[in-house]
Structure 1
Amino acid sequence: MDFVYPENPLNVPNDLTIPTKNQKRNLWLSVAGLVGFAIVYIAIATWFTWATFYLVSEGLHSRNSNLFTFISALASGMIAFFMIKALFFVKKGEISQEYEVKEESEPKLFRFLYRLADETGAPRPHRVFLSSRVNACVFYDLSILNFFFPSKKNLEIGLGLVNVLTISELKAVLAHEFGHFAQKSMAVGNWVYIAQQIAAHIIARRDALDDFLKSWSYTDPRLAWIFWILRLAIWSLRASLESIFNLVLIAQHALSREMEFQADLVAVSVTGSDALIHALHKLQAADSTWDSAQNFFYRQAQEYKATANIFNVHLRTIDHMGRILNDPGFCRVAILPDTNPSEHRVFTTDIAQPPKMWATHPYNHERENNAKRRYIPAKLDDRESWVIFDNPEELKANFMKKLLLNFPEEVSNDEGLLGKLDEEYQQEYLNSKYRGAYLGRSFTLYAEKPENFLDHKIESLSKTLGELYPPSLSEDLEKLRNLERELGLLSALKDGFLVPPDGIIRFRGNEIRKRELPKVIESIREEYEQVLGKVSEHDKLCHSAFFQAAKEIGKGWPEYLSGLLEVLHYADHSRTDVDDARGLLNNVYAVVTADRDVSSRELDRLVKAGTELFNALEIVFRNAEKIELDSVLLERLGVDSWASGLGKFGFVPPTRENMNEWLKVVDSWIDLTYNSLSQLRYTSLEELLNVEAKILNWTLDKKAKVEPAPKASVPVKDYPKLTPGKERKLQRRLGLWDRFQTADGFIPGLLRFSASSAIIGGIFYSTVHWILVL
């Protein structure tokens, strides 16, 4: 076992993982908030339960009782029922595509986990599951009983994680997860989570009882008013409890941040200060490449009934992405310096989002500073994480069979398909010589007309062609992507779509207030526009230079090049228009359903947004008949014509009557249209770059034989041009009524709490009144 288990660091301070003063303070605040919520909850449930029984029993015998006695009893009973039924829930801890392993089949793994759990002071896992994710977590079933009895913890280990980490890094990640359950404050987190589930059952869940009350509230007015009172009582209960519980969550979020830091230190105590940070660095790249590897894996299984080992596909995908990005450190960690390793930093100070598995954790650079504040050196074991399994190859084979269970036909393993993966990454637009200029980026979106990329003034053609795609372009593109990401995150924070984990916005090493965000955003936008202008100028220079070279060559190449650029421009803008229309529909849908009740006016607004999306789709299909693609593009697409490849448009516009059914099928039409336009975009981009490479070769080699160009594509001229800034306007904030309904903001939240509390108080007063009368 010692051969598998990495060495623990020496001379670890005894107080390294002792909770800080902030953590203890936040712990007591969380406990106080939770106790307060419990007292309010129990008091309301107890009072209205007792009042219901009293009013019913006494109302049947007292001469002072009347209809309003029983209406008060009914409203009181409804509140009591909603409070009590939320206590009887069981939330199953689940993972997708799980594959349970036992100690009998994987003794080495379990010895590793047991030893790590014992060293971190955590309970040993009850059950262990492997999953097809880049993830590791502890999950469990929850019920009201877990307020008093601890739940049994199950461990999930994602094999996508195992595939990229060294054994030291995996040990650090698992130690972090175990570290949570070595924390006494974790019990408070569990209690808060259980209370959150109870509150969620009351606040968010809608069931048959809600449907019953709603249907009866639209019947005969002589009877409907009673059900309106009951619905109002339930709304008030939900609104009041949500407001109270949000105060508990504020305290718990502050505690959660401190708990994450302490769990990191638990990992540091058994692996040193570097292993966890190295794992965190790899996870960003592992997430994205694992998704790509899975797409290839399943696509091959569907198309060829054979597929390559998904773990080999993942590693090969990482290699290709590192090459394309000209980043030798992609999903790899630089060797620690021999001098002052405690000063070495992997992450820079920014607002970068953590990997998926740690999306609610503090920022990466904060975690690194925390782990290295008291630097603990340790020997890093660079062996693959697969060494913790007794038979890794057999495990991989069995797990792949698990992934392919839903396929109707048997799928074989063919490692030769890795060559097909290599072919896909050999596409011209992925060539590293372009410095990533065409990777995840649509350069034509920034021009209203495709001709804008053909009319840039070229002073010296040979000199320009020799200086295209310089190394500095990589830096400009990386800076542009970072600025785009920062703008997106800051805008989302300003509009309330994102909330910082601990309520504090940290940006480029500084803490900023929310009211300062517009000024910061404007500053970043100016920086972004400056870099974008520089990159866009290079785009125009490139394609104008090749177009001018094509004019000197002749033989139909300038027309062919121009046709390809026009097709690319059309595909880019058309698919962006469809996607933007979908964004509008999603935005409107989110707004009108925010209060979980769609009014007649809101339905009309939803129909209008759906109609705009329908029109965007219809334009694409209508224009298809007017587009003539060249023979090379048709062959690459595998179709006789663009119209036949796209198919017939058999969709219908939305109406008030068909809206529910329309929403169920609209995504399939969006996906069909968007994917077809994407395929046309990538095909025309690939051919454009191939032709430009030929033109460069013919220009440099005057003796090379120039072949005549194919007949040029004839695209449509009239189509939506959605350049940046022309996107459909989205509603960033809810209307006043919806903000009141959802307590969006301090003032609306205070008003809703006051109104709902007044209604609950009125029902309380009514029950007291009739109890005294009886």
Structure 2
Amino acid sequence: MNPSFPYPPMPQGVDERVIAPSAEFKKEVVKVAGAIAFFGLVYVALMAAAVGLAVLCGYAGVALVLLKPAFFTLMIGLGLVGLGLMVLFFLLKFIFKRSKTDRSGMLEITEADQPELFSFVRKITQETQTPFPKKIYLSDDVNAAVFYDSSFWSMFLPVKKNLVIGLGLVNSVNVTEFKAILAHEFGHFSQRSMKLGSYVYNVNKAIHNMLFDNEGYGNTLRKWSELSWYFALFATLTVKIVQGIQWILQKAYVVVNKPYMSLSRQMEFHADSVAAFVTGSEPLITSLRRIEAADICYSQLFNQYNAWLQENLKADNMYPQHRELMHRFAMDFNIPMAHGLLQVTAQSLARFSQSRLVIKDQWASHPSTDDREAHLLALNIPTVLLHDSAWVLFRGVEQVQQQMTDKIYDRAKFEQAPQTLNLAAFTQKIATQVNERSLDKAYQGFYDDRTLKAFELEVAESLAGVLPSFRFEDLFTEANCKLPEKISQLERDLHTSKQLLQGEHDIKTFDFDGQKFSIKEASTVQSILEKELEEAQAQLDTLDKQVYQFFVQQAPTEEKKVALTAAYRHLFVATVEAEEDTKSYQRIYETLRPVFEADMSVEKAKVIMGEVKQQEEPLKERLRNLLQDPTFARCLTPDQQSKLENYNASDYAYFTEEGFDNTAISSLTETLDIFVNTAWEKCFQLKKETLALQITLLPIRQEESVAGLVV
């Protein structure tokens, strides 16, 4: 009997050996088992030492009191007993810690709610020969995962897993890809190594607990030390012993996790094989690529929602709006759409990561998407594609989407009842924002996301009259328009090469331009990148001047030429001022940094806030001038302007006898953020106006303008 929902058939005649663990997989399993055994020996040795210390301290404490009964011997004896017990407890406290997955952002669904979805999942578990999930949850994001609540005892007792399905994922894939993704998740549980994963997970939890989760333990030590100076001495000794144990645990963490990360990558390949075995090779490849793009759009969506909280706006249904952003993504980056979905390939996303310096991250838990695609293509398992949206498996789709949207906004704070934003209003608002933030398309992105570097306008203008005439299409070639992007990538690669030289990556080799280099050769790569960056930056500087000179040549009147030069000058001045404003911003934040990082004495707090008071005097003077600047003022919302004016009129103490004035510090930090962001927003608006003026000087644009006047 056919199911009442589309179900992609399992490929027939596929050799089951494709899902057999590889030799590399088995080798990594042996390594991880050995690493776990090593940690077990280390932990047993530490426990034995701690028990021995506790017995020795207890015996010494009692013996001391019996030998010479007195107050000071009693206190020393109690201190010794306390030291032994506290060290022992440090090594045992993780056993009593239970980890529970936060479900506050999830919606639990039942088979009565979604019978087709449950039937779909059940068929996948039958094909992958894995147990059906204990519970199924929905989340908002572009993801799917299996999870369970764990404790120390879950290493030894069977634990049923839960499935969580992100509706952002459902929004981004077809039903065949959805099957492949879920089959991948279930594929993990056909691996015997998953038990090893559970052991490593709990070992990591134990180590993390002893390295970082020590607030309660530290409070107990502090209270003990405050009872008497005798106890304070032994508390200090306890801390020193615990620090020694933590040093050993940090080394053990590396020993356990390096091989586990290698195994984890092999586990991903194996789970991919399981997914391909029941669905075919292609669906997982296409879904992996599309998920990357869908996740970018999803992040953009949330950035918009967060920005609109101040406008008291709330989405009525986030998922059609997510799809709208995916459609825009397709248009912006010339990615084809089919069956309502992005048709993303490796080439589609290559523009987002063009690094020539490749580091194989040995701490990565997943292989790269390129490596996974190569593995799946090598399997070459045929696919029967069903292009139905994964939403066909859900009942009451719009209701489910709105329910999740409301759950997202449960965490949002509005000053008053928010106004809902439907798809039409969202689309219009996005279009308006894009128009406001976009530069003329004739520039082909040449000026996007960069600061225009100042040059001598008078010299450039004087040379424009004697230079040969430029042509617009010769200046704005594809190579020239990609030059700023090339410089940005060179800067990123140069930063990475410096990290390699500083030992920030625990690797022995890396790839550059397709060739393998040892870590010692990072300085050679750095020199290459520095030279290329210098040449590219010089080329861009020359090109910026030539563009200016070209438009000077195009200016039909002296008045237009003067206006263009004035616009450039205004932009250059604003950019220099924004750079200085940023330095002021950074100086104050650097002074404030200790306030946010740790407790401090009253004397130190007074010194820091005294420095802040001195630094804010020129800041307030600068703000007074900026608030009189029409260009700066029009970049502010009424709320931002009010906040800047209120801050400028205030005289905060920041620190009093009662402690820090958090309201005052919040006002300062908020003002600083508005101040520096608006300084750069002013630069953007001036740049946009300058470029708009430039483009009107082209003969074809002048003709369009005249034609418009005639009409």
So what's the TM-score if we normalise by structure 2?
0.81
| Aligned match for 1:470, one of 477, 486, 489 | 477
Pair 1:539 & 2:544 matched: yes
Report the alpha carbon displacement of residue 509 of structure 1 after superposing the two structures with TM: 4.3
Tell me which moved more, 383-392 or 401-410: 401-410
Alpha-carbon contact 2:264-2:365 (below 8 Å) kept: no
> Cα offset for 1:248?
1.2
Contact 1:571 1:678 in 2 (8 A): no
Select the residue among 194, 213, 234 that pairs with 1:226: 234
Q: Is the 8 A contact 1:260 1:362 kept in 2?
A: yes
Aligned partners of 2:631 and 2:682 also within 8 Å? no
One-letter code aligned to 1:168: T
Which residue does 1:44 correspond to in 2? 46
User: 1:146: how far off?
Assistant: 0.7
Note the alpha carbon deviations across 1:452-480, whole angstroms, 9 max, x for none: 98787476787434545333345445544
Name the amino acid aligned to 1:76: G
Using the alignment, how far apart are the partners of 1:624 and 1:493 within structure 2? 42
Summarize the alignment of residues 219-298 of structure 1 with structure 2, pairs less than 5 Å apart: 224-298=232-306
* Pair 1:154 & 2:162 matched: yes
User: In structure 2, the residue corresponding to 1:165 is in which secondary structure?
Assistant: coil
* Residues 19-30 of structure 1: pairs in structure 2 closer than 5 A: 19-30=21-32
Q: Secondary structure at the match of 1:103?
A: coil
| Counterpart amino acid of residue 562 in structure 1 | Y
Which of 551, 565, 576 is matched with 2:571 structurally?
565
Contact 1:611 1:654 in 2 (8 A): no
Deviation at 1:527, TM superposition (A): 3.3
Return the alpha-carbon distance in structure 1 between the equivalents of residues 467 and 386 of structure 2.
55
Q: Distance in 1 between matches of 2:376 and 2:636?
A: 52
Contact 2:301–2:325 at 8 Å: present in 1 too?
Answer: yes
* C-alpha contact (below 8 Å) 1:167/1:381 kept by paired residues: yes
Match of 2:706 among 704, 707, 712: 704
Q: Alpha-carbon deviation of 1:435?
A: 2.2
Secondary structure of the equivalent of 1:157? strand
Question: CA deviation digits over 1:134-178, x for unaligned, max 9?
Answer: 222222211011110133322222222222222222322222222
Corresponding residue number in structure 2 for 1:688 = 690
8 Å contact kept, 1:95–1:131: no
Structure 2: distance between partners of 1:77 and 1:113: 50
Rounded to whole Å, the distance in 1 between the matches of 2:704 and 2:575 is: 31
Q: CA deviation at 1:194?
A: 0.6
* Greater percentage in helix: 2
Amino acid at match of 2:34: A
- Contact 1:349–1:365, Cα closer than 8 Å, also in 2: no
Segment of structure 1 superposing worse, 538-547 or 650-659: 650-659
Aligned residues: 685
The 3-state SS of whatever aligns with 2:557 is helix
The corresponding residue for 2:622 is 623
* Aligned mates of 2:477, 2:9 — CA distance in 1: 46
1:399-449 CA distances to partner (integer Å, 9 max, x unpaired)? 22222234552543533312121122223625543322344x2232x4478
Query: How far apart are 1:371 and its partner, in Å?
Result: 1.8
Q: 1:92 aligns with which of 97, 100, 105?
A: 100
CA contact (8 A) 1:452 1:540 kept: no
Residues 568-607 of structure 1: pairs in structure 2 closer than 5 A: 569-570=575-576, 573-574=579-580, 577=583
Q: Distance in 2 between matches of 1:641 and 1:193?
A: 47
Q: 2:402, 2:226 → 1: CA distance?
A: 59
The alignment partner of 2:163 has SS state of strand
Rate the CA distance shift 1:481–1:176 in 2: closer, same or farther, 3 A. farther
- Evaluate the alpha carbon distance shift between residue 635 and residue 576 of structure 1 in structure 2; reply closer, same or farther with a 3 A threshold: closer
Residues 456-465 or 392-401, more deviating: 456-465
State whether residues 571 and 680 of structure 1, in contact with CA within 8 Å, keep that contact through their aligned partners in structure 2.
no
For the aligned residue pairs, the C-alpha RMSD in angstroms reads 4.6
Which residue identity lines up with residue 446 of structure 2 in the other structure? A
1:176-191 paired onto structure 2 within 5 Å: 176-191=184-199
Residue pair 2:187, 2:275 contacting (<8 A) in 1 also:
yes
Q: Tell me the SS of whatever aligns to 1:178.
A: helix
Asked whether the 8 Å contact 1:571–1:681 carries over to 2, the reply is no
- Mean alpha-carbon deviation: is it higher for 246-255 or for 451-460? 451-460
C-alpha distance in structure 2 between counterparts of 1:329 and 1:458, whole Å: 49
Candidates 396, 404, 408, aligned match of 1:399: 404
CA contact (8 A) 1:79 1:233 kept: yes
Q: Which consecutive unaligned segments of at least 5 residues does structure 2 have?
A: none
Distance 2:447 2:588 in 1: 24
Q: Is the 8 A contact 1:33 1:247 kept in 2?
A: yes
- Residue 3 of structure 1: CA displacement? 4.4
- Greater relative contact order, per chain length (Cα 8 Å cut-off, separation 6+): 1
CA distance 1:179–1:134, change in 2 (3 Å): same
Would you say 1:332 and 2:338 are equivalent positions?
Answer: no
Residues in 2 aligned to 1:409 and 1:703: alpha-carbon distance in whole angstroms: 45
Q: 2:446 aligns with which of 429, 433, 437?
A: 437
Offset of residue 589 of structure 1: 6.7
Mapped pair 1:384 → 2:389: yes
Matches within 5 A, 1:669-688: 669-688=671-690
Contact 1:353 1:363 in 2 (8 A): no
Over the matched positions of the two proteins, sequence identity in percent amounts to 24
- What amino acid does structure 2 have at the position aligned with 1:381? L
Match of 1:426 in 2: 435
Q: Distance in 1 between matches of 2:106 and 2:190?
A: 25
1:759 paired residue number: none
Alignment deviations for residues 339-374 of structure 1 (CA, whole Å, 9 cap, x no partner): xxxxxxx999966799xxx97422222222222223
Higher alpha-carbon deviation: 214-223 or 428-437 = 214-223
Cα-to-partner distance string for 1:374-399 (whole Å, 9 max, x where unaligned): 32232333332222212322222222
Secondary structure at 1:138's aligned position in 2?
Answer: strand
Between 1:612-621 and 1:394-403, the stretch displaced more is 612-621
- What's the counterpart of residue 218 of structure 2? 210
| CA apart distance, 1:93 | 1.6
Q: Which amino acid letter does the alignment assign opposite residue 146 of structure 2?
A: V
What is residue 519 of structure 1 aligned with on the other side?
524
Secondary structure class of the residue paired with 1:91: coil
Contact 1:140–1:154 at 8 Å: present in 2 too? yes
* 1:742 corresponds to: none
Aligned to 1:128: 136
Q: Kindly state the Cα deviation for residue 277 of structure 1 after the two structures are TM-superposed.
A: 2.1
Classify 1:232/1:644 alpha carbon distance in 2 versus 1 (closer, same or farther; 3 Å). Answer: closer
Indicate how the Cα distance of structure 1 residues 352 and 673 shifts in structure 2: closer, same or farther if over 3 A, else same.
farther
C-alpha distance after superposition, 1:203-251 (max 9, x if no partner): 1122244245357768976664322212212212222222223211122
Whole-angstrom CA distance in 1 between matches of 2:267 and 2:701: 63
1:642 CA drift (Å) = 8.2
